[in-house]
Structure 1
Amino acid sequence: MHQVSVIKVEERVSHLMLGWQPAVDLRTVRDDFTCRAPGWSFLQEEQNGLRFAYKALLHRTWSSAYLGQPFAKAGRWLVQTCSAYFESESELRSEIFAAIHLTAGLPARGPEITSIKVCNTAQVMRNLIFREGRLLLVIEYNKARASNYHAFYIVRYLPQRLAELVYLYLVYIRPFISILASQLRFSYLHANEFLFPDPRHKQKHLSPAQATDILKRLTMRFPAPISLSLYRQSALAIAKRYIRELIQRADFYKPKAASDPTKMIAAGVGHHPRVLLTEYAIDSALPVQLQPELLEMYLQLSTLWQDWNRQYYEDHRNLWTTAAVTPATGAAIKSESRGLKRGLPADSLPVSSLNKRQAPLIAAPRASLDMDGFRYDAQYKILICISCESAFKQRKLHGTDT
């Protein structure tokens, strides 16, 4: 799921960039944590020179086609082609949402992730910020104000490839869409401060219900499509079981080694290490509550999450293939069970005894395996659920096992 979400964004960005692949080096992008001017983002930073970068894509469209149709004819935009481009950009926003929510780190709450801002407003600061060649998702969590009158920051680092794709979207595709919509007088398509505006144009940004629909479309082949709340619970369960085993027990505020530089410097000036890290030598380019030590901790957490998912994918992709599942119920289960006991191949079972309704897809192993809750019979290529005795048949589809 994590791998597919990024691949979808990559394919869609290439599609909307009309095959053009400009060089991207995020290490050269300048951003300012401390700038709170309304409307400001990294695109307005003079050193970046990106304010009118979208014009390169605009000029390409005059001589390019989209879905086999030209963008313009006789100096005028063709509405049908432009509308198809608008629809594809809307799909890209949904795919970017899914990719960020799944891969940036442990998942945020629905209202937090759906209301991500790409530029400052008069009330709040933007959430997407570039720093040291990485794209950060910074959320100021205000729930703590009720108890201590101070908010704290939650930071998630996007995977590098996804960060580059989001950069291309923000620098080229999104501004081009806004200009094109203005020229065609599609007022409801004008970009606002939110990264994920409401596709139905009824509110300013994506709602948690719409976000859940995006995740369900991505996981529609699962036995149970995943909602925002279900994914958050699942991710935390995975983190507690697996990620914590990878996290080194390091406390930035309480160095344990006697030779630790922070501890030695703090002792030299008569302070506790925590005081040194939080009250002295503060980096003025960052909010006081979000200093480099805290950013480093969040970077480690995001990296562990991404590395674990990547490694899990590498370890299991050779064992699993996408398989069509036809859940058998009632008499059909008994028929398949009898067929297995008699040594009959599942192909001999009558079609009428199976549920003909198209079912979700799951991953099925290629070799004979015993898994938690499932048993795979390699001889007959059948996956059996131990709890309910449902049997799923592996078939040939277009020359491949499914």
Structure 2
Amino acid sequence: MTSSLDGALDRAVFNFIVASIKTHVGGNVYTNSLLCFCAALGINRHPLGYLEPHLYTGMLAGILWWARLFFLEAVFENQPVDQDEVGIEAVLAFREEHTSWMCIGTHSVISTIIGWMAYGKGYRQKNGGQPSIRWSDDEEGLFHMGEHISVEDFTCTLRDEVTEAEKLLNGLFGGVWQTVSKKIDMGRIVDNMIRLGAGQSFASNPKNKWLEAGPAKVMRLMEASIWDAARVRWKRQRVKRWLRDLRLLRETLLVLVHTWGGLPGRGPEITTLRHCDSWQLIRNVFILDGQVMIVTDRDKMKAIRDNGRKVARFIPDRIGRMVVAYIAWLLPTERVLRQECQLNEPHGEQLEYMWRDGSSSVWETDRLSKKLARVMQAGTGVRLGVGRYRAIAIEMGRRIRGLVIRQLEGKMDDEDEDENVEIDPITGEPVDCGGSWNIVWDLQSTHGTRIARQHYAVHIGFPGKLQPEMIATFKEISKLWHQFLESAEEGKEKKVPKRKQGSQKTDKQG
């Protein structure tokens, strides 16, 4: 009885929401129940007033997301679940319905919500980010959203996490990780910066045969622990314990790659890393001149066409060896153990990703954020998820001498109009194709700098049009960040730049 009532209630709610979406509105949009609800969300009771645009726009985006789900369900309600079985009549009907109710300029509910979002986004961009961070008077830490984060605690926490990863690796390699690590000759690893084919990476390169990529190395070291020679069978509990430790290492290594690679990107850039090529996309992990290089793309849709905006981050040697061991030895070992012990295995489309466990899908940003928050809570006393960590790391990065952004800011300060300064996507340097910032070398070749970099002598050895000059710039930024994290006390004297007189206090002499 209860089940039938619940079903009737679900159907009534579903029909009500769909009817609220499929409605045209005129001047008084608040006669529509859904738009009235959206408007009410914009009122903040404590303190009384309107919600900030950066918060309200996000709420509207969430409503738009589930409204689209309801719309799709309503249009395809009587169609087969399998997409391949949906007929052309249903597809054409969907296009007609979508044009009527889900596009801008249709005077519909969704059109109004999209308009509000565009207005909020424009207001937010015009007013910039919300002030939330400042340095303490002694310049030994900073405040974010009213909470104090010590620079020393911040850097010490990330250094301790490296030690924690090494402890986990020591257990995964039978107590001899230090010996194994020293035998990884990073400078000897050969890698190609172009797409090699599905499943290919530095670990499959024939020139790296000496690395013994595969499960054999770990199996030899762990044989006594996970294999019962007398009964000729696996010690399932020991195997499960090993896999659990591997999951803990994954979480720790995920945090290390995110925090030690340089100035941080957004969560999805790290959580969707591929250690090998997929059927369509190039991998994200490379070995360049003996150092692990992580290449990500800010625009995933453009990445499919290899036309996105690439960013390179370099991992310090100590963590780089962990990444090599993880890709070359631990991932193959995990796959063998799961097959042999008939445990949950990753699906075929998940094998290329760095961060996943068992048969789970790719880990999402929320997992990285929770792990990072736990680590920072323990080390600094403040919970710093991905969003808060990014703001703090960027502010600390501005204090490190040599970051190219200081050079750019200095040149932009000298310009009468900042809009005249464009950024060269190849080198990261300011370029004004009107003439003032064009490189004379390129002008002598009868073309501007932008044409030169995009069409002439484009380097074949680097992924996604990420040219050597830009990689060198990214490498220097990562190096400066490594130095900052590795030597906090030294960094106060050597890495903090002298600030302009009159705008900030001068550094205290140690």
**Distance (Å, rounded) in 2 between the aligned partners of 1:283 and 1:149:** 14
Q: Which moved more, 1:130-139 or 1:307-316?
A: 307-316
Aligned to 1:216: 373
**Distance (Å, rounded) in 2 between the aligned partners of 1:128 and 1:305:** 19
- Report whether the alignment pairs 1:38 with 2:38: no
**Distance (Å, rounded) in 2 between the aligned partners of 1:215 and 1:171:** 25
Matched pairs, number: 302
**Distance (Å, rounded) in 1 between the aligned partners of 2:480 and 2:237:** 45
Which structure shows the bigger proportion of residues in helix conformation?
Answer: 2
CA distances 1:48-77 after superposition (whole Å, capped 9, x unpaired): 115654312212322x33xxxx64242211
**Distance (Å, rounded) in 1 between the aligned partners of 2:242 and 2:290:** 30
2:335 corresponds to which letter in structure 1?
A: S
Aligned to 1:230: 388
SS of residue in 2 equivalent to 1:135: strand
Aligned to 2:81: none
- Report whether the alignment pairs 1:11 with 2:11: no
- Report whether the alignment pairs 1:299 with 2:475: yes
**Distance (Å, rounded) in 1 between the aligned partners of 2:446 and 2:215:** 54
The CA deviation at 1:124 is 1.9
Aligned to 1:57: 218
The CA deviation at 1:278 is 4.2
The CA deviation at 1:230 is 1.0
Kept in 2, the 8 Å contact 1:53–1:171? The answer is: yes
- Report whether the alignment pairs 1:171 with 2:328: yes
CA distances 1:315-334 after superposition (whole Å, capped 9, x unpaired): 68xxxxxxxxxxxxxxxxxx
**Distance (Å, rounded) in 2 between the aligned partners of 1:205 and 1:144:** 18
Kept in 1, the 8 Å contact 2:214–2:333? The answer is: no
1:18 corresponds to which letter in structure 2?
A: G
**Distance (Å, rounded) in 1 between the aligned partners of 2:239 and 2:357:** 19
1:305 corresponds to which letter in structure 2?
A: W
2:386 corresponds to which letter in structure 1?
A: L
TM-score normalized by the length of structure 1: 0.67
Gap change, CA 1:287 and 1:178, over 3 Å in 2: closer
The CA deviation at 1:116 is 1.0
**Distance (Å, rounded) in 1 between the aligned partners of 2:396 and 2:329:** 36
CA RMSD of aligned residues (A): 3.1
Kept in 2, the 8 Å contact 1:282–1:288? The answer is: no
Q: Which moved more, 1:91-100 or 1:284-293?
A: 284-293
Gap change, CA 1:150 and 1:282, over 3 Å in 2: closer
Kept in 2, the 8 Å contact 1:140–1:151? The answer is: yes
The CA deviation at 1:15 is 1.9
**Distance (Å, rounded) in 1 between the aligned partners of 2:430 and 2:456:** 16
- Report whether the alignment pairs 1:118 with 2:275: yes
Where in structure 2 are the equivalents of 1:80-99 lying within 5 Å?
A: 80-99=237-256
**Distance (Å, rounded) in 2 between the aligned partners of 1:159 and 1:130:** 12
CA distances 1:337-389 after superposition (whole Å, capped 9, x unpaired): xxxxxxxxxxxxxxxxxxxxxxxxxxxxxxxxxxxxxxxxxxxxxxxxxxxxx
1:85 corresponds to which letter in structure 2?
A: W
**Distance (Å, rounded) in 2 between the aligned partners of 1:42 and 1:151:** 23
**Distance (Å, rounded) in 1 between the aligned partners of 2:171 and 2:281:** 34
Kept in 1, the 8 Å contact 2:292–2:314? The answer is: yes
Q: Which moved more, 1:175-184 or 1:48-57?
A: 48-57
Aligned to 2:139: none
2:268 corresponds to which letter in structure 1?
A: P
Aligned to 1:100: 257
Kept in 2, the 8 Å contact 1:41–1:120? The answer is: yes
The CA deviation at 1:270 is 4.0
The CA deviation at 1:31 is 1.9
Gap change, CA 1:211 and 1:187, over 3 Å in 2: same
**Distance (Å, rounded) in 2 between the aligned partners of 1:236 and 1:52:** 37
Which structure shows the bigger proportion of residues in strand conformation?
Answer: 1
**Distance (Å, rounded) in 1 between the aligned partners of 2:337 and 2:216:** 11
Kept in 2, the 8 Å contact 1:194–1:204? The answer is: no
Gap change, CA 1:245 and 1:24, over 3 Å in 2: closer
Query: Percent same amino acid at aligned positions?
Result: 22
SS of residue in 1 equivalent to 2:208: coil
The CA deviation at 1:232 is 1.0
SS of residue in 2 equivalent to 1:249: helix
2:173 corresponds to which letter in structure 1?
A: M
Gaps of 5+ in 1: 256-261, 317-402
**Distance (Å, rounded) in 2 between the aligned partners of 1:15 and 1:56:** 14
SS of residue in 2 equivalent to 1:34: coil
Kept in 2, the 8 Å contact 1:106–1:236? The answer is: yes
- Report whether the alignment pairs 1:196 with 2:372: no
**Distance (Å, rounded) in 2 between the aligned partners of 1:61 and 1:118:** 24
1:55 corresponds to which letter in structure 2?
A: A
**Distance (Å, rounded) in 1 between the aligned partners of 2:173 and 2:217:** 10
Kept in 2, the 8 Å contact 1:114–1:196? The answer is: yes
**Distance (Å, rounded) in 2 between the aligned partners of 1:58 and 1:99:** 26
**Distance (Å, rounded) in 2 between the aligned partners of 1:51 and 1:8:** 26
**Distance (Å, rounded) in 1 between the aligned partners of 2:449 and 2:281:** 32
The CA deviation at 1:145 is 5.2
Gap change, CA 1:268 and 1:193, over 3 Å in 2: same
